[in-house]
Amino acid sequence: MQVRTRFAPSPTGYMHIGNLRSGLYAYLFARKAGGRFLLRIEDTDQDRLVEGATELIYHTLKDVGMDWDEGPDIGGEYGPYVQSQRKALYLPYAGQLIQSGHAYRCFCTKEELEQRRGEAAARGETFKYDKHCLHLSQQEIDQKLACGLPYVVRQNVPEAGVTSFTDLIFGTITVPNHDLDDAVLIKADGMPTYNFANVVDDHLMAISHVMRGMEYLASTPKYNLLYEAFGWEIPQYIHMTPIMRDAQHKLSKRDGDASYADFIDKGYLKEAILNYIALLGWNPGDERERFTLSELCQAFDVKGMSKSPAIFDPAKLTWLNAQYIRDLTPAQFTAHAAPYYKTAGIESMDVDVLCRILQPRVEIFSQIPDMVGFLAALDGTYDIELFTNKKSKTDAVVSRDVLIKVIPLLKTLPDWSETALHDALMDMAQAQGIKNGTLLWPVRIALAGRLVTPGGAIEIACLLGREEALRRLALGVEKLREAN
């Protein structure tokens, strides 16, 4: 049997992290087995569709390297791969179920159903459709159809007995049939519900392994009853535990939790995101934390999937992202950092120096503007107290005297390079008989106007250039004089 898995997202917004993980696991499972990975767009819920969401699904999967073997954009022998384009396929199968007694037409109005739902709530019961329309005579059904009354098609779930299924993670699960509701299979507009379309499509597309979130565990017995009603082979089930925001709350697109695009916009690397979500609910069985996509394809095993929910830890993702950033070549780092340099207004500065001082410190690229914003504009209101540092043995007076001596030296410096700046300042410190830190601390504070900087005085002076560096040093002297 050829392994065939599918990823079937709904185009209702951004690609949520949990949704991307579902697709990733289906992809890894298929690739590990040498099988095929399908992309299917499930757009039966027309009211929730978001314009451009389908294209975003394509973009996200391609961006992380998850290529599919069959899908809406590339076709395949089991197409079409968009459910709304398959609408005509579902009605005959629904008719087949009606003929065999496994489904029936339901003419109950929304108002009638709401009334019964309210009555059940008043009794303290969970509402369950009472099979009212199952008991209509054929004559009554024909009359309602002749009058053009709208109807849905409901599954006729047995009232007695049990339904069992086996999941590769959770084992065999048995549910009493009387706990199951007669779910709607075809809506009044003729569109199938997810409950029906996914069964028909998975069969027609020869899906061997259905991998989805465990929120569908409760519905799986109803799916199995449909497979049995048609006499179709039931696929293998692999239900994934949810990704939690914390111990009580699932990550949720509806609650505004971050999507893949959100993390990309924040400056996370796609490789780090994919690596991290692969480990949310799966353990490779060793201590490895870093995987490329091809390595994940080789290492992935259903036996390593967890039965417990995974907690999404932004700090751990950020740590992992930092490791990926450290491994970038200078050219790669600069390419990723370039938009953030532009945001900070420093795109014209020496990228080699910027890379050297930022790459060891940046955890996510969106940190760059805050880290280097002082290079584009000096905050003229900085605190004079910053010039005082016990370790460097500086205070306002010492700092003023140092800057007064440094400025004429740098004005005459023939070569404004890191090497020349370093040699000149170190020679001055030695000639003055002071520690390097005593000289460099006030220079850095005057140049940056802040306590914490990603680089030292020499790198900052080099990036600013002669004119701006000297202007800032002179401003430092002026402020120190005003303070004394």
Give tens-digit pLDDT for 352-361: 999 999 999 9
pLDDT-above-90 percentage for the chain = 89
Q: At what angle do helices 87-100 and 194-204 cross, to 10 degrees?
A: 100
Q: Please state which of the ranges 44-53, 80-89, 172-181 shows the lowest mean pLDDT.
A: 44-53
Instruction: Say how far apart CA 441 and CA 203 lie, in whole Å.
Output: 71
Residue located via tokens 């220079």: 443
Residue located via tokens 């992992």: 320
What contacts 255, CB < 8 A, 6 or more positions away? 245, 249
Tokens in use for 61? 């999967």
Return the pLDDT at 13: 82
Return the pLDDT at 254: 57
- Whether pLDDT at 256 is above 70: no
Residue located via tokens 């697109």: 253
Instruction: Say how far apart CA 315 and CA 322 lie, in whole Å.
Output: 11
Return the pLDDT at 162: 96
Instruction: Say how far apart CA 45 and CA 89 lie, in whole Å.
Output: 17
Instruction: Say how far apart CA 380 and CA 97 lie, in whole Å.
Output: 78
Instruction: Say how far apart CA 334 and CA 37 lie, in whole Å.
Output: 35
* DSSP letters for 332-397: HHHHHHHHHHHHHT-TTS-HHHHHHHHTTT-SSGGGHHHHHHHHH---TT--GGGG-BTTTTB-HH
The verdict on whether 87 is a catalytic residue reads: no
Q: Tell me what the mean pLDDT of segment 8-37 comes to.
A: 94
Q: Identify the band that residue 48 occupies on the pLDDT scale cut at 50, 70 and 90.
A: confident
CATH architecture of the domain formed by 384-483: Orthogonal Bundle (1.10)
- Whether pLDDT at 325 is above 70: yes
Cβ-contact 378, 478 below 8 angstroms: no
From the CB of residue 175, how many other CB atoms can be counted at a distance below 10 Å? 17
Instruction: Say how far apart CA 400 and CA 475 lie, in whole Å.
Output: 11
Tokens in use for 46? 């027309």
Per-residue pLDDT tens for 385-434? 999 999 999 999 999 999 999 999 999 999 999 999 999 999 999 999 99
CATH number at 4-81+244-311: 3.40.50.620
Cβ-contact 225, 191 below 8 angstroms: no
Instruction: Say how far apart CA 70 and CA 81 lie, in whole Å.
Output: 8
Per-residue pLDDT tens for 336-353? 999 999 999 999 999 999
Per-residue pLDDT tens for 149-182? 999 999 999 999 999 999 999 999 999 999 999 9
- Among 32, 128, 250, 253, the active-site one is 253
What contacts 233, CB < 8 A, 6 or more positions away? 203, 227
Beta partners for 236? 209
Q: Identify the band that residue 469 occupies on the pLDDT scale cut at 50, 70 and 90.
A: very high
Q: Tell me what the mean pLDDT of segment 37-42 comes to.
A: 96
pLDDT-above-70 percentage for the chain = 99
Q: Tell me what the mean pLDDT of segment 305-315 comes to.
A: 94
Rg from Cα positions in the chain: 32
Right CATH for 84-240 from 1.10.3720.10, 3.40.1010.20, 3.40.50.620, 3.40.50.720: 3.40.50.620
Q: Please state which of the ranges 49-58, 163-172, 354-363, 458-467 shows the lowest mean pLDDT.
A: 49-58
Tokens in use for 205? 């597309």
- Whether pLDDT at 253 is above 70: no
CA geometry: angle 245, 246, 252, nearest 5 deg: 25
Per-residue pLDDT tens for 209-238? 999 999 999 899 999 999 999 999 999 999
Instruction: Say how far apart CA 265 and CA 273 lie, in whole Å.
Output: 12
